[in-house]
C-alpha cells in the first residue's frame, strides 16, 4: 500500500479526529480511504446519470402520480395479457 501525506489546518484536523472517534474508524487513514471511495462512487453515479440522460434525449415528461398510475396499469395489462381500459 502506498503512503500519502496531507497537511490540514488545525480546525480540519480536529474535525477529522472527531469523525474518526464518533464514526468508529480505527485510523484517520481508514476515514480518508472511505471518503475517497464515497467520492469515487458519487462521480460514477454522476457519470451514469449523465449518460442515461444523454441516452434518453428527446422530449421530457412530467412524472405525476397520475402518470405513474397509468404506467402501472399499462404494465399490469402487458403482464396479464389484458386489454388496457381506454384503448
List, for residues 57-79, the tens digit of each pLDDT value: 767 778 899 999 999 999 999 99
Quote the number of domains for the chain: 1
The percentage of the chain sitting over the pLDDT mark of 70, rounded to a whole number, equals 93
Q: What is the largest CA-CA distance in the chain?
A: 68
Nearest-angstrom CA–CA distance, 11 and 67: 50
pLDDT of residue 85: 54
Q: In this structure, is residue 86 part of a structural domain?
A: no
Residue 83's pLDDT is 65
Answer yes or no: is 87 within a domain.
Answer: no
Identify whether 4 is part of a domain: no
In a domain, 73, yes or no: yes
| Euclidean distance between CA atoms 25 and 66, whole angstroms | 46
Domain that holds residue 22: 10-80
Query: Does the residue 5 lie in any domain?
Result: no
Amino acid at each position: 500500500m502506498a503512503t500519502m501525506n496531507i497537511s490540514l489546518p488545525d480546525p480540519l484536523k480536529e474535525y477529522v479526529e472527531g469523525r474518526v472517534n464518533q464514526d468508529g474508524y480505527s485510523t484517520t487513514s481508514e476515514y480518508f480511504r472511505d471518503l475517497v471511495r464515497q467520492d469515487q462512487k458519487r462521480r460514477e453515479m454522476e457519470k451514469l446519470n449523465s449518460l442515461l440522460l444523454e441516452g434518453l434525449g428527446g422530449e421530457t415528461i412530467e412524472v405525476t402520480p397520475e402518470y405513474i398510475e397509468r404506467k402501472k396499469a399499462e404494465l399490469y395489462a402487458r403482464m396479464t395479457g389484458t386489454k388496457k381500459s381506454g384503448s
